[in-house]
Amino acid sequence: MNKILSGIRVLDFGRYIAGPFCATLLADLGADVIRIEKPSGGEDRYTVPVTSDGEGAYHMQIGRNKQSMTLNPMTEEGQDIVKRLVKTADVVVVNVPPQALKKMGLDYESLCAINPSIILTLNTAFGSLGPYAERGGFDTIAQAMSGSMHLSGTEGHPAKSFAPYCDFGTASLSAFGTLAAIMHRMKTGEGQIVEGSLLSTALTFNNAALIEESILHKNRQGSGTRGQFNAPTDTFKTQDGWLSVQVVGQGLFKRWCNLLQENQWLDDPKYASDQGRGDHGHIISQRMEQWCAQHNNMSALAELSKAGIPAGELLTPAQTLKNEHVVASKLFQSVDYPNSPGAAPIVNHPINYSKSQTCEFKRAPTLGEHTDKILNEIGFDPNQITGFRERGVI
């Protein structure tokens, strides 16, 4: 079966998560992705270190299905190598501010001079317009500026998501945009710039709250795990653990009232809508806390499931890895990596396709593992490659 992006070459100059994971998603679909790092290795290769030589968990996940070469694109010889690579490529993925892009010769104008149909996928902190365009930034900064961190915590105590959803969300949206640009090029022959930013992703994910604030001026304060637009939506302590429960819509609320024998609330105008229930969520959560305190996780989940109410256990990472549904659904691929004390459980490509094939994961490459092979493919002989290495070009 032919993979969706077979024949598409992607140059991954990304760093940390947003750019590299965009390229990873394309690699999963069959694109030939070349990960290009500085000769000493990118900092993101060593984030969340798990191997004996300090290589990291993010690299194991995001480096999958890629080739690796090292390169210093700021040298004259490095610029020549970049130009040769660009001639062979369909997509260039980068996440650096505009000025640094120009210095690296990876701005759209420079790329088009080499390959007029190239697609440049940019991922930045704040986008290329506005007074913050040249600023660097990370996931947490976007969470903070979007209003999400304020609403995720409690009053006076903001809280961030542990998982970097702005990074992974930007990567996913940028991969979506890159696929759209590839379709456009198939129709017109034109390349283009595809641009995503951490802030635009964060604003997209928190847009409903921002719309409400703009129109109604609610000035909401954070309420921890308790939702504010419906109820009961919260995390509740049982006799042996914690559960997360979310009730949205009149049908689910009726089932919940029946289960907890609070049918009088169905006739109470305070609880007649999702928003009304959200506005009085502290009352509803308090009642749910009382119910959960009479159950352990297993019995509570059994009764909630029987009643058709969405709920799940609050799991530690160790428990998540052993969860019966996670295991039975085969959501991970076990991938070995050099110098790792154990195989890495890499989450599958996040979308299933009924007709198209995705890759069985190849482990993330060691630093520069494919440098000589790639340089040979674009016309450099072994002596030249040795010289590059001696001069610090690769």
Q: Tell me the one-letter amino acid at 383.
A: N
Final residue of a structural domain among 289, 318, 347: 318
Statement to judge: residues 198 and 59 lie in one domain: yes
Q: What is the CATH number of the domain that holds 273?
A: 3.30.1540.10
User: What are the pLDDT tens digits along the chain (394 aa)?
Assistant: 578 999 999 999 999 999 999 999 999 999 999 999 999 998 899 999 999 999 999 999 999 999 999 999 999 999 999 999 999 999 999 987 777 888 889 999 999 999 999 999 999 999 988 999 888 899 999 999 999 999 999 999 999 999 999 999 999 999 999 999 999 999 999 999 999 999 999 999 999 999 999 999 999 999 999 999 999 999 999 999 999 999 999 999 999 999 999 999 999 999 999 999 999 999 999 999 999 999 999 999 999 999 999 999 999 999 999 999 999 999 999 999 999 999 999 999 999 998 888 878 999 999 999 999 999 999 999 999 999 999 999 9
Final residue of a structural domain among 318, 351, 380: 318
Q: What is the CATH number of the domain that holds 115?
A: 3.40.50.10540
Statement to judge: residues 99 and 187 lie in one domain: yes
> For residue 141, what are the domain limits?
9-205+330-391
Statement to judge: residues 51 and 130 lie in one domain: yes
Statement to judge: residues 343 and 298 lie in one domain: no
Total domain count, the chain: 2
Distance, CA of 156 to CA of 383 (rounded, Å) = 63
Does residue 341 form part of some domain?
yes
Does residue 228 form part of some domain?
no
Statement to judge: residues 105 and 15 lie in one domain: yes
Does residue 259 form part of some domain?
yes
- How far, CA to CA in Å, does 29 sit from each of 36, 117, 181, 371? 19, 21, 15, 23
Distance, CA of 87 to CA of 75 (rounded, Å) = 19
Q: CA angle 77-80-83, nearest 5°?
A: 155
238 near 297, Cβ under 8 Å?
yes
Distance, CA of 126 to CA of 271 (rounded, Å) = 40
